[in-house]
Amino acid sequence: MTCAVSNVICSIIFGERFDYNDPVFKNLVRIMDENTKLLGSHKVMLYNFFPRIATLLGAHRQTVQNYDELIEYILKRIKHQRQVFDTNAISGFIDAYLLKQEQESAKTEKIFDDENLVCSILDLFEAGTETTSTTLRWSMLLMMKYPEIQTKVQEEIRTQIKQGQLPTVDDRRNMPYTEAVIHEIQRFVNLLPLNVSHKTSNDVYFRGYCIPKGTDVIPFLTSVLYDKTQWETPYEFNPNHFLDEGRKFVKRDAFMPFSAGKRMCVGESLARTELFLFFTGLLQSFTFYPPPGVSREDINLRSDIGFLSFPLPHLLCAKLNY
């Protein structure tokens, strides 16, 4: 699952897909997977509060080493793309960025510099790889837990998408129940409980308190995604949270798994598109159910908390629908 999702990101960024057995691609996936786990480890969390102990923490050193390796590869790809760059053959995000650089080359203040390009690519990798693949693993677990919801999604798929055709982004507007289920999966699993820390650029006064410039601010998304004043049944998996009385999809203001404001996740649009296409494609082709001897009541929805909320390991069965 992670490889499939990561390859989508690579095709968007680099303009080409990798073979799953390509050693470079396998190393990219390894780095993203390893760093996600390391960032959620207690040692790295300890470093976030006490940076001076960095030299004592092997996990922190490994995280930095992985990022350095990833950045080195990205810089090599940027250099290569610049050498073969053709304004008439824009094939990926890097090419589009280089075109923008060329267009603003006469300006004295440049926003589209290489540093921002590297940071944007890192954001896309992080937002569109491990987070998306983990959400999809949760989706299969939840469909196994709630077969009646899985059946409704599959009925909508059969109604809106012809057999033999793959789902497209345009299908989303005609599939309100599927959209509601995907949004409820994101709300319910609370994938990034503490989101990503930010820093105040100026002194901020909030409810009588002064938050000094340069203060690290950690948004606690759980408080919003499980707010009893915003959700009818916050602790239940309930797609009706995103459906109005006419069974049309409604996006709620309290739905913010990608954070909010100007510094929200840059990869939101990409991640939402990936989730729809992968989730719909999976349920179009397969029906997920528990292995023999396991009832739906036995399926544990507790998460393994780290940087991300990972589902606990489960066995599942998948039956081809046709």
- In this model, does residue 120 exceed pLDDT 80? yes
CB 32 within 8 A of CB 130: yes
Query: pLDDT value at position 218?
Result: 82
Query: pLDDT value at position 31?
Result: 87
**254: which residues sit within 8 A by CB, 6+ positions away?**
224, 225, 227, 230, 231
What domains can you pick out in the chain, each with its CATH number? Answer: 2-128 (no CATH), 146-320 (1.10.630.10)
Query: pLDDT value at position 41?
Result: 62
CB 110 within 8 A of CB 116: no
Question: Which region holds residue 259: left if phi is over 0, alpha if psi is between -120 and 50, else beta?
Answer: left
Query: pLDDT value at position 167?
Result: 95
User: Global pTM?
Assistant: 0.85
What single DSSP character describes residue 292?
T
Distance CA(8)–CA(93), nearest Å, equals 12
Helix orientation angle between 2-14 and 130-145, rounded to the nearest 10 degrees: 140
Query: Taking all residues of the chain, what is their mean pLDDT, rounded to a whole number?
Result: 87
Q: Smallest Cα–Cα separation from 158: which of 270, 105, 253, 150?
A: 150
265 is in an annotated binding site: yes
**75: which residues sit within 8 A by CB, 6+ positions away?**
114, 118
CB 194 within 8 A of CB 218: yes
Beta-carbon count within 10 A of 152 CB: 16
Q: Smallest Cα–Cα separation from 29: which of 62, 60, 7?
A: 7
Averaged pLDDT for residues 89-108? 87
Averaged pLDDT for residues 52-63? 65
- Of 79-93, 106-120, 154-168, the one with minimum mean pLDDT is 106-120
CB 28 within 8 A of CB 70: yes
Distance CA(171)–CA(173), nearest Å, equals 6
Distance CA(142)–CA(288), nearest Å, equals 9
Q: Tens of pLDDT along 258-292?
A: 877 777 776 778 888 889 999 999 999 999 999 99
Distance CA(167)–CA(278), nearest Å, equals 9
CB 150 within 8 A of CB 140: no
Helices (H), the chain: 2-14, 23-39, 42-49, 58-83, 93-103, 114-128, 130-145, 147-160, 176-189, 222-225, 268-285
Query: pLDDT value at position 50?
Result: 58
